[in-house]
């Protein structure tokens, strides 16, 4: 079996699919005509490039439709129809070298523009393209190279839209399958149907636990072997999270599930479309959650914990069912202009943070993480984490995480943690500190928005812009609220001593 190659993590969206050369030839407005080279329907192009260099090799990336008007052809060659034997031989050598260099650079096809330099396509060029297996297109005088390039990008845009639609529909169907009474077989059946092949789940011992769809027998055997490549052998030695191979004309891929228990998803398909890796990665996330619950019984434990909470049990009595005594509350929002998270994205985030206790509320995802699993920055997310809290402090932790997230967004930091350490304020007896804080902040008590604005503004060192971002309001609103706070408190908020005293008071009320 060929050596499998590890693959990178799934992209946010599938890459742009290439364009079949046949689709470009079918455009009647271009009137392109293939006159040499293979007429294979599987030939695709990734972009169009114009060059009049005699040796375009250094300027090609591979996959191009190279367009030329033949300016580089030696003078007097014409269509080489009437050239004497020696001249025709030299011209043949020129085109042989020219086409071989295009093929060596990975060019997908060559387009030759008829007029204004040449009246017809040189026969020696067509012969060289036939010899090296490079499709040769005749570009008529009325068709510009820019028009051909525009058509390529239009076809690519259409293909990308179709692929995005296919991936979206697949994600929805996989999510629906995960909610069925038989979730694991349902997800595998849906995945096999979407990739047109076979999907299988392998256990920690390497045996197939469930499967759906069909693939050649040799590919099925090889898929089981490939699953061992991404299965952790033990505590020592890292393994790739995914790997690919090709056997018996079938594309194979294996994905280690994020349960840490050795489960692997295997996929075998007759071809590998640009969006298939994204679809399979979504299935892997869902199966990670499903197999994690199956192995540990955590799903039943969470259900039991929820029932007990609803029936009035204290949080500290329920926490052991969830697997920890101290917890970190994490609030997360998609970074930048990414859309609001759906259930699949939120579950994937929870799996990355090491917890299935996930809640989606609008554009914020909340995750309850055992304290021993220290939250780390996650690509594509902005996170705020609370201090480690006991179950009776979950509510306070939720508040801390929300404020940490607001600060992270304001400072454009991937992760902000709420600080937990002893300070000067802890030297004041709690009862006296509470009375002082409530008395000092009493003028703001009737307006929580003023209190939260003051707290955020002080935490961000008086920055109007960052406070506006953190609170999702206009900076003028922040200025008005702070001015109102100063008036109600009858205090000079430019005085650092006043700011410090107010900050201690706000921190005291935050703990209550």
Residues 6+ apart with CB under 8 A from 378: 332, 349, 352, 353, 414
Q: In the 3-class helix/strand/coil scheme, how is 339-404 assigned residue by residue?
A: CCCCHHHHHHHHHHHCCCCEEEECCEEEEEEECCCCCCCCCCEEEEECCCECHHHHHHHHHHHHHH
Q: What are the sequence ranges of the domains in the chain?
A: 31-142, 178-296, 324-417, 424-510
**What pLDDT, on a 0 to 100 scale, did the predictor assign at position 483?**
92
Q: Is the peptide bond before 407 cis (omega within 30 degrees of 0)?
A: no
**What pLDDT, on a 0 to 100 scale, did the predictor assign at position 317?**
79
pTM over 0.75: no
Q: Please state, as a whole number, how many other Cβ atoms lie within 10 Å of the Cβ of residue 39.
A: 11
Residue with tokens 């990975």: 106
**What pLDDT, on a 0 to 100 scale, did the predictor assign at position 347?**
75
Q: 103-149 pLDDT, tens per residue? A: 999 999 999 999 888 999 999 999 999 999 999 999 999 999 999 99
What CATH class is the domain 424-510? Answer: mainly alpha
**What pLDDT, on a 0 to 100 scale, did the predictor assign at position 232?**
65
**What pLDDT, on a 0 to 100 scale, did the predictor assign at position 358?**
86
Q: What tokens were used for 468?
A: 């506006």
Q: Please state, as a whole number, how many other Cβ atoms lie within 10 Å of the Cβ of residue 391.
A: 19
**What pLDDT, on a 0 to 100 scale, did the predictor assign at position 76?**
54
Residues of the chain with pLDDT under 70: 1-15, 76-89, 232-239, 259-261, 292-300, 302-303, 323, 344, 420-430, 510-512
Looking at domain 178-296, its CATH architecture is 2-Layer Sandwich (3.30)
What CATH class is the domain 31-142? Answer: alpha beta
**What pLDDT, on a 0 to 100 scale, did the predictor assign at position 511?**
57
Strand-pair partners of 67: 50, 111
Q: What three-state secondary structure class fits 111?
A: strand
**What pLDDT, on a 0 to 100 scale, did the predictor assign at position 85?**
54
Do 417 and 400 form a contact (C-beta atoms < 8 A)?
no
Same CATH topology for 178-296 and 424-510? no
Q: What tokens were used for 466?
A: 């960052």
179 phi, psi to nearest 5 deg: -95, 0
Task: Report DSSP state, residue 59.
Answer: G
Q: What tokens were used for 310?
A: 């609803």
């Amino acid at each position: 079996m060929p050596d499998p190659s590890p693959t990178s993590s799934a992209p946010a969206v599938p890459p742009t699919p290439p364009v079949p050369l046949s689709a470009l030839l079918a455009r009647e407005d271009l009137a392109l005509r293939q006159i040499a080279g293979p007429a294979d329907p599987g030939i695709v192009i990734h972009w169009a490039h114009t060059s009049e260099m005699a040796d375009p090799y250094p300027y090609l990336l591979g996959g191009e439709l190279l367009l030329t008007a033949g300016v580089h052809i030696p003078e007097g060659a014409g269509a080489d129809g009437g050239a004497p034997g020696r001249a025709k031989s030299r011209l043949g050598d020129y085109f042989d070298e020219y086409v071989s260099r295009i093929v060596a650079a990975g060019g997908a096809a060559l387009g030759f523009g008829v007029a204004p330099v040449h009246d017809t396509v040189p026969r020696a060029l067509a012969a060289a393209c036939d010899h090296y297996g490079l499709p040769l297109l005749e570009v008529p005088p009325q068709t510009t190279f820019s028009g051909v390039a525009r058509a390529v990008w239009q076809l690519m845009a259409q293909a990308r839209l179709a692929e995005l639609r296919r991936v979206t529909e697949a994600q929805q169907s996989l999510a629906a399958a995960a909610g069925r009474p038989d979730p694991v077989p349902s997800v595998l059946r849906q995945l096999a149907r979407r990739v047109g092949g076979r999907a299988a789940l392998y256990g920690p011992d390497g045996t197939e636990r469930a499967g759906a769809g069909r693939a050649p027998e040799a590919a099925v055997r090889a898929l089981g072997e490939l699953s061992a490549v991404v299965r952790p052998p033990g505590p020592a030695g890292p393994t790739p999270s995914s790997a690919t191979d090709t056997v018996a004309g079938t594309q194979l891929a294996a994905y280690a599930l994020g349960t840490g228990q050795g489960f692997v998803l295997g996929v075998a398909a007759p071809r590998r479309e640009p969006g298939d890796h994204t679809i399979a990665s979504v299935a892997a996330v869902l199966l990670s959650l499903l197999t994690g619950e199956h192995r540990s019984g955590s799903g039943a434990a969470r259900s039991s914990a929820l029932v007990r909470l609803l029936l009035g049990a204290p949080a500290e009595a329920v926490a052991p069912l969830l697997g920890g005594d101290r917890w970190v509350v994490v609030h997360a929002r998609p970074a930048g202009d990414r859309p609001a998270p759906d259930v699949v994205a939120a579950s994937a985030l929870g799996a990355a943070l090491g917890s299935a206790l996930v809640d989606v509320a609008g554009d914020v995802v909340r995750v309850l993480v055992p304290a021993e699993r220290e939250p780390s920055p996650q690509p594509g997310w902005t996170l705020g984490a609370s201090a480690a809290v006991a179950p009776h402090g979950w509510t306070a932790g939720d508040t801390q995480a929300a404020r940490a997230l607001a600060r992270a967004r304001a400072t454009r930091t991937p992760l902000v943690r709420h600080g937990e350490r002893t300070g000067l304020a802890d030297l004041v007896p709690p009862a006296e500190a509470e009375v002082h804080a409530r008395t000092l902040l009493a003028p703001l008590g009737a307006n929580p928005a003023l209190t939260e604005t003051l707290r955020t503004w002080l935490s961000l060192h008086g920055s109007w812009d960052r406070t506006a971002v953190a609170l999702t309001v206009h900076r003028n609103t922040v200025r008005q609220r702070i001015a109102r706070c100063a008036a109600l408190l009858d205090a000079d908020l430019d005085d650092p001593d006043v700011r410090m005293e107010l900050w201690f008071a706000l921190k005291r009320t935050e703990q209550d």
